[in-house]
Amino acid sequence: MAERPLSPHLSIWKWGPHMLVSILHRVTGDGMAIVGLGVLLWWLGALASGPEAYATFTEIATSWYGYVVLVGLSWAFFNHMTSGLRHFVLDIGAGYELGLNKAWSVASPIIGIALTAAFWAALLLL
């Protein structure tokens, strides 16, 4: 029996920004599902448990590490949204030209960071 190459194999593919966007899309989706669900359930449980439990939740959520988690969740949301929109455009058959695909692959996480910064600026400054 002949030795057949494993395809697709990592040595065949050249790393590109589209691969990073795809990986980030999966990671941010999982992060929102796991961490976001935990924060949501904790918030709902604290809300239902009374003022003391809710005060504990808000104290931790408004601490520096609470803000790190909340900013991370909002970044995950906006990054997942922008890469999801990019994938939607690809699904309708547009954006497969190499230059355009690479440009949107680079722009997608940058737009996610910009939207996160704008969201938190609006929350904290208004």
Mean pLDDT of 77-101: 94
* In contact, 46 and 53? CB cutoff 8 Å: yes
The predicted pLDDT at position 15 comes to 82
> Binding site for heme: residue ranges?
80
DSSP string, 26-72: HHHHHHIIIIIHHHHHHHHHHHHH-HHHHHHHHHHHTSHHHHHHHHH
The mean pLDDT value for 114-124 works out to 97
Binding site residues, as ranges? 80
pLDDT average, residue stretch 42-48 = 97
The CA distance from 56 to 46, in Å, is 8
The domains found in the chain, sorted by start residue, are 18-125 (1.20.1300.10)
CB 52 within 8 A of CB 86: no
Q: What is the pTM of this model?
A: 0.86
